[in-house]
Structures are given as C-alpha cells and as structure tokens.
Amino acid sequence: MSVKARRRMTAQMDRAARVCARQGAQLTPLRRHVLGLILEVGAPLTAYQLLDRLKLTHKGAAPPTIYRALDFLMEQHLVHKIERLNAFVPCVEAGHRHPAQFLICCQCGVVSEIENRAAANALEHAAEQEGFRPRNTVVEIEGVCAACFRPS
C-alpha cells in the first residue's frame, strides 16, 4: 500500500470518526477495523471475504460479527452494498445519505461510485410522475470501464 493511499485511508477514517461522533454513534474498534479492511482493499469485498480477513486478527469472529459491523457502517452511510455483487465498498462521500450510483466493470471488476445530479434528478422525476416517493435510490450500471475499453 502506497504512502498516498495510506494517507487517503487515514483521512477517510478520520472523517468516519467525525461522522459517527456527530450522530452520537459509536465507531468501536471492531467497526473501525472492519471499515479499515474495506478502505484498504479498494475493491468490492463480500461479507465472508471481510470475515476471513477479520479472523486473521480477531479470533472468534463469526458471520454476525461482520454483518453487524456492515449494518452499522451502512446506517452511518460509510459504506454501500453493491447488490449485484453482494459486496461492499466505501462511500466516496461518506456520511451523507445520497442516491447511490455505481459503474461496475465486468472485465476488471472495478466498481466506481459516481455522483451525477442530473441523473439523480431525472430518476426522482420519473418516480414522482408515478406518484412514487423515493427514499432510497440505487443505480448499478454494468459495462466496460475506460481502462478496459482502451487497453492502451
């Protein structure tokens, strides 16, 4: 892991701590550790992949351990679940509830979160035209990322 990446990770962790403090939520060592695993890998990880990593340092971790931590982190808007992959990624704009939009490359597996207001607005409009009140919007776009399309 590069110095740069480590610095970014620390910044994200600090941010997470502030977010939780603001909400009166407890970012316990365990939850912090799980968030750390998600941040350091930088790729979508399934609950059981996280569990395996957690077990290395946290003997006795079991499925509920990881799922509870993930539930907490999702409630605090620190991580997202990618439904198509049953995998979890850090939120790029941690701490705010916002419509989730993901680009999922089916060649290299990279998932990137985008925040496109125009698209979010269009979707909200579409829902309202049906008399529907959106609460939680998820967009998952599978395709080929720029890097894979032009393997320069």
Partner DNA sequence: CTTTCCAAGCAATATTATATCATACCGGCC
Partner DNA sequence: GGCCGGTATGATATAATATTGCTTGGAAAG
Minimum CB separation of residue 26 from DNA in Å reads 4
Does 108 sit near Zn ion (CB under 5 A)? yes
By CB under 5 A, residue 127 contacts Zn ion: no
134 binds DNA (CB under 7 A): no
Burial class for 64, CB neighbours closer than 10 Å (0-12, 13-18, 19+): exposed
107 touches, from its own copies, DNA, Zn ion, none (C-beta below 5 to 8 Å by class): Zn ion
Residue 112 found at the interface with Zn ion (CB under 5 A): no
Nearer of residues 69 and 104 to its own copies, judged by Cβ: 104
CB-wise, 119 or 148, nearer to Zn ion?
Answer: 148
50: tokens are 């996280």
Q: What DSSP element (H or E) covers 6?
A: helix 3-23
Integer Cα distance of 28 and 83 in angstroms: 26
Is residue 151 a contact residue for its own copies (CB under 8 A)?
A: no
CA distances from 85 to 11, 53, 61 (A): 27, 18, 23
**Contact set for DNA, span 16-35 (CB under 7 A):** 25-26, 28-31
DSSP string, 63-110: HHHHHHHHHHHHHTTSEEEETTTTEEEE-TTTTS---EEEEEETTT--
Does residue 104 belong to the site contacting DNA (CB under 7 A)? no
Q: DSSP letters along 119-130, please?
A: HHHHHHHHHHHT
Q: Does 116 bind its own copies (CB under 8 A)?
A: yes
CB nearer DNA, residue 60 or residue 151: 60
Q: Total residues contacting DNA (rule CB under 7 A)?
A: 22
Q: Which SS3 state, helix, strand or coil, does residue 61 take?
A: coil
Smallest distance, Å, CB 30 to DNA?
Answer: 3
